[in-house]
Chain A
Amino acid sequence: MSETLVNLMIEGRPVSVPAGTSILEAAKTAGILIPHYCYHPGLPVAGVCRMCLVEVEKAPKLAPGCATAVAEGQVVRVYSDKALEARKGVLEMLLINHPLDCPICDQSGECELQDYTFQEGRADSRYREAKRFNPVEDFGGDVMYVPNRCILCTRCVRFMDDIHHDPVLNVSERGDRAYIGKAPDADLTQPWAANVVDLCPVGALLSKDFLNKARAWELDRTASVCTGCSQGCNVTLELREQQVVRIRPRGNTNVNKFFMCDHGRMDYKWLNRPDRLEVAMAGDTAADWEIAIGAAAKALKGKRAFVVANASLSNEALFLLKRLVAKTGGAGYFNVPKGEEAPLPGVPDLSLRADRAANGTGAGLLGFTHEAKPLTKVSAGDVVLLVNVDPHAAAAESLAKADAVIVIGTTMPGIAKSPAAVLPIANVAEEEGTLTNLRGRVQRYLQAKAAPGMARPSWFVLADLLNAVGDKADYLSASAVFDALAASEKAFAGMSYDTLALSGIESPAVRAGATA
């Protein structure tokens, strides 16, 4: 791919970008964010808000940065008096009909209208007339429309038209009577529709689920990966007082661009479950960690570890389980629940996958066997380890064939009647780890909150267990477990938490396998 580079100056800084890049994107490479509303890198250019007007030397008029391509030798001034005056004018006009109800608006604190007005706008308004009023409308799905706050940037309309390919939103009426209309009998229940809430730069489109739950500045945000399916969308967990209150997509051009599906977005409440395993147990007795681990090791002595692993466990946990299986001559299984596939038509290779678990690929790479009803394979001499799974009650008969059962999990599986040991572990929001998506991209998730009670990260618990059965596993961090994994597993060779960073790396082994 040969790219012609164009050289220009933006606010006195030299910039080199591929031909065809917009001034707005070129400015980003120089660390300058040109204020804008209608422009979004994941959507077609509309050029309607006129907020990104900049001065281009020798051009007769101010140019919209989003819709003007760079040219060789161009001299762009973002903060000239002329450009600032024009943007101040746009801001004043955007605000004349905008209710100043920030104190009761969910968007407050993460509102681009607030941000740019604070940055470049007027301190007061000269508007003395009545403001436009339209009633709030329920758009269906998770979306609520507050037309009075709408600045008609049309991001939502373009998302539904050009990305979702289901054009149910439109601009109705014209002039200052315009508002976002919804096709009659159509609700925003499409699988990816709630992205319009993230795309809305102001408080016009709101999540009904998040409504009035928190102020933006109260939220603690942590980078994570969605475990709703095998796509592995990059997300941000947003917590208020140790409770996850919202999940939003985190940009990753290689995985999910700027989007995530509604299934993943709404799949966070289990992270706050109150019915968690909080105490380690040896037999029926609450016990210290050392005693509980000892009980588990004792049960495993001379037996085969029969591991049934949750397909959303981290690569680290699966790696340690794999070693446990090897050490005891056992077997490892996982099962991936299925759902309906729901692609986002406007983005290649982005879909809510039918595989509704985050790490089926990782489990496969680490030698686990996919099996819909793994417990039917249990025989005498097996010690079943239920690792964060809750098998159907019908499997109780098969489970009875096992010599013993060890529960390692966040909640108690109903099927485990008298386990030899119960080892409580952290969930995905409470520990650090990595997941491998369906394209073999290994991606990190970070710890967002503390685990309840005695629960410990899965890698911590499994490393202790491995030590107790005599396979040395003295790891002090998830990162150290991953280093050991990378050293011994070809698919992860050369990777480390530092090189994965927050956007992940595609496993070369998987890529080679996919093309072969």
Chain B
Amino acid sequence: MGYPQKSHPRETPVLSKHFGEGEGRSLDGWKKRGGYKALEIALNMTPAQIVDIVKASGLRGRGGAGFPTGVKWSFMKPGDGKPHYLLCNADESEPGTFKDREIMRWTPHALVEGCAIGAYAIGAETAYIYIRGEFQEPIDRMEAALKEAYAANILGSNAMGTGKTINVYVHKGAGAYICGEETALMESLEGKRGNPRIKPPFPAVSGAFGQPTTINNVETLVAVPHILVNGAEWYKAMCLSNPKSTGTKLFSVCGNISRPGNYEIVLGFPFKDFLYDLCGGPTTGRRFKAIIPGGASVPIQTMDEAEATLMDYEGFVAQGTMLGSGGVIVFDDAQSIPRQVARLTRFFAHESCGQCTQCREGTSWTTRILDRIVAGQGTYEDLDTLLEMAENMTGKTICVLSDSCAAPVVSGLQKFRHEFEALITGKRSSQSAGGSQATAGSSKLTVGAGA
């Protein structure tokens, strides 16, 4: 549910059912809400049985890539004589995304349980929850929950009295977006600079500390206990459109919209209803102009595209973008797209680790050109340069940070080129002629350049 908003009747709260309930944070409160039943079930199954159920449920990674979780788990070979690791990616840094934060704040035991099941399923005795360093409250909540779980022998060398060893640790990040990239996260966890690694080898072969490793997003792991308790069929049945996209998903909504917050819906939900009904539509007197539906790394959608979208992995792709992390950023008609794109690329330029040439130089050069365009000093050649550079930044580097920087540039230029051209020719964009501070700033600069 969209805490602090009240749950909307059209939501399907599964993971977010207990958001806002302080009591659910404690072990007793969580058990009262059905907690740790799934772990008991899991520890009485074989790892392979758990993997099969997760496979059958159709659960896919909620971090952005959407890889089938059961398939990912099946790459691990329990009993191969090597230590295995489960990593929980809680480095939620994607601009516009704040779902994992709420999961950890309100239902920390849900994540402990998810990690314990995941670790057991892949033959790992150790799980690390890598939490974004700025998330002080979630870190505190998780540590408190772990303390309780250890005290109650849910974790440790005799987990739930089964004799199995499951240890879960919290590791605090140090403020780098790139550490949310799975291999950079591993480097960081090992105490090194958070640089993404070349793949192959893939984590299932050589991950954290050079050992077989599986890395899952918070939301993915938290969904697993529900699947074990209610069955794969129950989860699979939660599907409103493409059968490859099952279950519920949390969407974080922010920007120029009436009711920002977290919303949990069944995949395949119509995006138009989501925006206008659940989230209450634009603020008074405004119209929506554009949406970035999956965190800063995905292409921008026009409203025509957004309103035709069914909210699942395939539905977003069909409408020119991606589901990504589910961070919905909404722009209304007071916003200047070139300015917003420049804002996004500046973020990527700041966060690039600087290993690959195209990313290190390209993210910064792109930002400088966009800043110049926004300042009214742009040329038509700049637009060609931007697009050519975006091509050089796509699919050519170790990780996808530079691809992510190129995505809003390319989609912004494809879908809102007139706004860039208006800044180049000295005409203000008619769309951005509203009274917001941002627009006032840009028009002043445009006038200055023309004078």
Contact = CB atoms under 8 A, between A and B. Distances in A.
Contacts of B351: 174-175
Interface in B358-401: 358, 360-365, 368-369, 372, 381, 385, 388-389, 391-392, 395-398
Given A45-B198, A50-B396, A175 B358 contact: no
A176 B193 contact: no
A50 B357 CA distance: 7
Contacts of B352: 174-176
A388 B433 CA distance: 89
Interface stretch (A88-96, A292-300, A403-411, A453-461): A88-96
B4 interface: no
Interface in A114-166: 126-129, 151-152, 154
Contact of B365 (A46, A62, A93): A93
A49 B178 CA distance: 18
Contacts of A128: 372
A174 B176 contact: yes
A96 B361 contact: yes
Given A96-B365, A129-B365, A178 B360 contact: yes
A146 B193 CA distance: 23
Nearest to B398: A47
A151 B361 CA distance: 10
Contact of A86 (B178, B360, B362, B396): B396
Contact of B397 (A50, A60, A152): A50
A67 interface: yes
Given A47-B198, A47-B398, A93-B365, A171 B193 contact: yes
Interface residues of B, number: 33
B401 to A, nearest CB: 10
Contact of B392 (A47, A86, A176): A86
B353 A90 contact: no
A176 B364 contact: yes
Nearest to A45: B198
Contacts of A96: 361, 365
B368 A90 contact: no
A48 B357 contact: yes
Nearest to B402: A50
A174 B354 contact: yes
Contact of B358 (A89, A97, A178): A89
Interface in B311-368: 349-358, 360-365, 368
Nearest to B377: A128
B160 to A, nearest CB: 43
Contact of B369 (A46, A90, A129): A129
A16 B355 CA distance: 32
A51 B365 CA distance: 18
A176 B349 contact: yes
Contacts, number: 92
A154 B362 CA distance: 19
A340 interface: no
Contacts of A51: 357
B385 A90 contact: no
Nearest to B348: A175
A61 interface: yes
Given A129-B368, A175-B351, A90 B176 contact: no
Best-buried of A86, A96, A97, A175 by chain B (most CB within 10 Å): A175
A61 B353 contact: no
Nearest to A48: B355
Contacts of A127: 365
A173 interface: yes
Contacts of B358: 50, 89-90, 93
Contacts of A177: 354
A126 B354 CA distance: 21
Interface string A56-77: 0000111010010000000000
Given A93-B392, A126-B381, A176 B198 contact: no
A267 B245 CA distance: 70
A383 interface: no
Given A48-B356, A90-B357, A176 B363 contact: yes
A308 interface: no
A152 B360 contact: yes
Contacts of A200: none
Nearest to A154: B355
B26 to A, nearest CB: 40
B396 to A, nearest CB: 6
A243 B368 CA distance: 49
Contacts of A85: 392
Contacts of B395: 60-62
A97 B363 CA distance: 13
A251 B355 CA distance: 28
Nearest to A170: B193
A90 B351 CA distance: 20
A171 B391 CA distance: 27
B392 A89 contact: yes
Interface in A167-183: 170-171, 173-178
A416 B398 CA distance: 68
Interface string A23-62: 0000000000000000000000111111101000000111
Given A47-B398, A89-B389, A126-B381, A175 B360 contact: yes
Q: Count chain A CB atoms within 10 A of each CB in B372, B396, B398 and give the residue with the most.
A: B396
Interface in B1-47: none
Nearest to A61: B395
A342 to B, nearest CB: 28
A97 B361 contact: yes
Contacts of A170: 193
B16 to A, nearest CB: 34
A90 B369 CA distance: 18
Contacts of A174: 176, 178, 351-354
A53 B381 CA distance: 27
Given A89-B358, A93-B365, A174-B351, 16 more contacts: A46-B355, A48-B356, A50-B397, A61-B395, A85-B392, A86-B392, A89-B391, A93-B357, A94-B361, A96-B365, A127-B365, A152-B360, A154-B355, A174-B354, A175-B351, A176-B354
28 contacts: A46-B355, A49-B356, A50-B396, A61-B395, A62-B396, A67-B198, A89-B391, A89-B392, A90-B358, A90-B392, A93-B361, A93-B365, A94-B361, A97-B361, A127-B365, A129-B372, A152-B355, A173-B354, A174-B178, A174-B353, A174-B354, A175-B353, A175-B364, A176-B352, A176-B354, A176-B361, A176-B364, A178-B354
Interface of B: 176, 178, 193, 198, 349-358, 360-365, 368-369, 372, 381, 385, 388-389, 391-392, 395-398
Instruction: Identify the 7 closest CB pairs spanning chains A and B, nearest first.
Output: A89-B392, A178-B354, A93-B361, A176-B364, A175-B352, A48-B355, A129-B368
